[in-house]
Amino acid sequence: MKVGIVGAGAVGAQAGFALAMTGAASEILLCDKNAALAQAQAEDIAHAVPFGAPVTVRAAEIAALEGARVVILAAGVSQKPGETRLALLERNAQVFAAILGEIGRVAPEAILLIATNPVDIMTDIATRLSGLPPERVIGSGTILDTARFRSLLGRHLDVAPQSFHAYVLGEHGDSEVLAWSSARAGTVPVRAFAEQIGRPITPQVVAGIDEGVRRAAYRIIEGKGATWFGIGAGLARIVRAIGGNERAVLSVSIRTPEVAGVTGATLSLPRIVGAGGIVGELIPELDAQETRALAASARLLAETSAELRI
């Protein structure tokens, strides 16, 4: 499967590396306005291929993306320390406007996978500018937040994070919602499981995990300037679900007709991802507080979207 990556910075390059190591693509093309950067990243990843799956990795212009099944958009300016994702909107919208027209001309059948922050709003912008149906314009959304949630649950309960079914909903950002009430360890509600093994989930534990998930990006950005390993792996996971027509349930962002009584928001829910993009979605069981929080997150995103003039 041919996959294009537009934006060869840290996130785009790490997505390419994860794709190469997992064999989720057979051909990976890195595109960037800085041709030397794209070439350097492609060569560096190609040198890792002998240790991973057989794949062709090269730098290219966007014109070479013809026939790509998925195009990852990781172009844009980086988040500054302390800057909210929504504050990035104005700076990154202009970048997308210049890119999407080119992609539409050379790869009109491709599924767009958006990684640029603020990812929910950038996914909304990409949907509107591309004219594609929402199921073919997928934001990475809360796939990374969900991974952080499961990782911290695993750390507290001393269980592999892959054993959890627990999701983060709404915005990939400050208003996101950790769906505690529907979280499961295997088939057991996570709170009941925690009691069984003598590691109860107290209010202090809830607060610590919530803070650990919600503030993770800010801490990482403060320490090293950006996040890239987690999101690179998340993007590769989405591509693998598309390429293999897995119909995997992943927390990703698309423009959503209605959620929690709010219309017109682009946000994350657990969604079924297959060859055609999004083929279905699930609404987890939520308590009243979580439902209100999801509605608030949806309203924030819908109101921001309504203000856009593109």
Mean pLDDT of 6-18: 97
- Measure the CA–CA gap between 217 and 23, rounded to whole angstroms: 27
Residues known to be catalytic: 172
- Measure the CA–CA gap between 276 and 266, rounded to whole angstroms: 19
Backbone angles phi, psi at 61, to 5 degrees: -85, 160
**Could you tell me which residues come within 8 angstroms of residue 120 by beta carbon, excluding any fewer than 6 positions away?**
139, 141, 171, 172, 173, 253, 265, 266, 267, 268, 301
What does DSSP say about strands 111-114 and 184-185: parallel, antiparallel, or unpaired? unpaired
Is residue 124 very low, low, confident or very high in pLDDT (cuts 50, 70, 90)?
A: very high
* pLDDT for the residue numbered 270: 98
pTM reported for the whole predicted model? 0.94
What does DSSP say about strands 2-6 and 27-31: parallel, antiparallel, or unpaired? parallel
Residue 63 clears pLDDT 80, i.e. is over it: yes
Residue 87 clears pLDDT 80, i.e. is over it: no
Residue with token string 């608030």: 296
Residue 90 clears pLDDT 90, i.e. is over it: no
Residue 27 clears pLDDT 90, i.e. is over it: yes
- 227-257 pLDDT, tens per residue? 999 999 999 999 999 999 999 999 999 999 9
- Measure the CA–CA gap between 106 and 112, rounded to whole angstroms: 13
* pLDDT for the residue numbered 85: 59
* pLDDT for the residue numbered 86: 62
- Measure the CA–CA gap between 203 and 200, rounded to whole angstroms: 10
Of 154 and 97, the one with more pLDDT: 154
Q: Out of 86-95, 105-114, 159-168, 261-270, which region has the weakest mean confidence (pLDDT)?
A: 86-95
Q: Percent of the chain at pLDDT above 70?
A: 98
Is residue 225 very low, low, confident or very high in pLDDT (cuts 50, 70, 90)?
A: confident
Whole-number mean pLDDT of the chain?
95
Q: What is the 3-state secondary structure (H, E, C) of the chain?
A: CEEEEECCCHHHHHHHHHHHHHCCCCEEEEECCCHHHHHHHHHHHHCCHHHCCCCEEEECCHHHHCCCCEEEECCCCCCCCCCCCHHHHHHHHHHHHHHHHHHHHHCCCCEEEECCCCHHHHHHHHHHHHCCCHHHEEECCCHHHHHHHHHHHHHHHCCCHHHEECCEEECCCCCCEECHHHCEECCEEHHHHHHHCCCCCCHHHHHHHHHHHHCHHHHHHHHHCCCCHHHHHHHHHHHHHHHCCCCEEEEEEEEEEEECCEEEEEEEEEEEEECCEEEEECCCCCCHHHHHHHHHHHHHHHHHHHHCCC
Q: Out of 56-60, 174-178, 238-242, 281-285, which region has the weakest mean confidence (pLDDT)?
A: 281-285
Give the other-Cβ count within 10 Å of 127's Cβ: 23
- Measure the CA–CA gap between 221 and 78, rounded to whole angstroms: 10
Residue 297 clears pLDDT 80, i.e. is over it: yes
Residue 206 clears pLDDT 70, i.e. is over it: yes
